[in-house]
């Protein structure tokens, strides 16, 4: 195989669906993951600090002796990768949130995704699940299209490790899966 390339990245519009947002997110995340300088920043659970005058390097430290010398980076080098490349690229294709907010205020890749979801009104919360009641069959819509919208909504509101939805206050240790009756 000569090489794997993602589709050309597109900008988010003023109106998105959960499906179109997820396609956008996965495409940009895949594209960014192709550069090894971004890998650590894209990992689940990786966080950094807000960029301020007091903390211009997001709290990022130099790589230590445990990292092979050829791969070792200074905090300043890693901060350049985070600010200009990773966060800057996301800001380029996310005009709905100010560039400065993305570069200075977010502290993880997941916080960026959650903020975008909140902007469009499909934040994963227990209260959001009540919106299921507002999904109706639209004129000229095929039954299969309605079924896919319902399934997408349910999948988006399932328990996920690191997600915002908890069961009786307990954080889940594994991602919830669709039961066979919901898959049909």
What confidence score (pLDDT) does residue 4 get? Answer: 67
Closest CA to 75 of 90, 64, 89, 86: 64
Q: What is the mean pLDDT of the chain?
A: 85
How far from chain centre, in Å, is Cα 95?
15
Task: DSSP letter for 121, please.
Answer: T
Whether residue 58 has pLDDT greater than 90: yes
- Quickly tell me which residue has 């300088």 as its tokens: 37
Task: Give CA angle at 127 (124, 133), nearest 5°.
Answer: 100
- Ranges of beta strands (E only) in the chain are none
Mean pLDDT of 136-145: 85
- Quickly tell me which residue has 């390097």 as its tokens: 57
pLDDT digits (tens, 9 = 90+) for 86-126: 899 999 999 999 999 999 999 999 899 989 988 998 766 55
What confidence score (pLDDT) does residue 21 get? Answer: 93
Residues 6 or more apart whose Cβ sits within 8 Å of residue 19: 152
CA dist 134 and 165 (Å) reads 20
Please count the other Cβ atoms lying within 10 Å of the Cβ belonging to residue 148.
Answer: 12
**pLDDT bucket at 179, cuts 50 / 70 / 90:** confident
Closest CA to 183 of 145, 146, 155: 155
Mean pLDDT of 57-76: 93
Euclidean distance between the first and final Cα of the chain, in Å? 36
Mean pLDDT of 122-134: 67
CA dist 12 and 20 (Å) reads 9
What confidence score (pLDDT) does residue 170 get? Answer: 77
CA dist 165 and 101 (Å) reads 25
- The token duo for 181 is 């009756």
CA dist 67 and 148 (Å) reads 46
**pLDDT bucket at 18, cuts 50 / 70 / 90:** confident
**Residue predicted with more confidence, 129 or 144:** 144
What confidence score (pLDDT) does residue 181 get? Answer: 73
Whether residue 159 has pLDDT greater than 80: no
Mean pLDDT of 172-182: 78
What confidence score (pLDDT) does residue 126 get? Answer: 57
% of the chain with per-residue pLDDT over 90: 48
Whether residue 1 has pLDDT greater than 50: no
CA dist 32 and 24 (Å) reads 12
């Amino acid at each position: 195989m000569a090489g794997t390339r993602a589709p050309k990245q597109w900008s988010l519009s003023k109106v998105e669906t959960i499906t179109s947002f997820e396609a956008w997110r996965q495409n940009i995340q895949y594209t960014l993951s192709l550069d090894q300088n971004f890998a650590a920043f894209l990992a689940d659970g990786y966080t950094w600090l807000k960029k301020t005058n007091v903390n211009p390097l997001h709290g990022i430290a130099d790589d230590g002796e445990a990292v092979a010398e050829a791969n070792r980076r200074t905090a300043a080098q890693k901060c350049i990768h985070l600010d200009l490349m990773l966060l800057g690229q996301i800001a380029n294709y996310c005009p709905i949130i100010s560039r400065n907010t993305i570069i200075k205020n977010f502290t993880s890749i997941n916080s960026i995704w959650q903020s975008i979801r909140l902007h469009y009104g499909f934040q994963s919360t227990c209260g959001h699940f009540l919106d299921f009641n507002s999904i109706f069959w639209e004129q000229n819509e095929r039954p299969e299209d309605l079924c896919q919208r319902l399934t997408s909504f349910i999948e988006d509101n399932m328990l996920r490790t690191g997600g915002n939805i908890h069961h009786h206050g307990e954080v889940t240790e594994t991602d919830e899966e669709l039961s066979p009756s919901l898959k049909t």
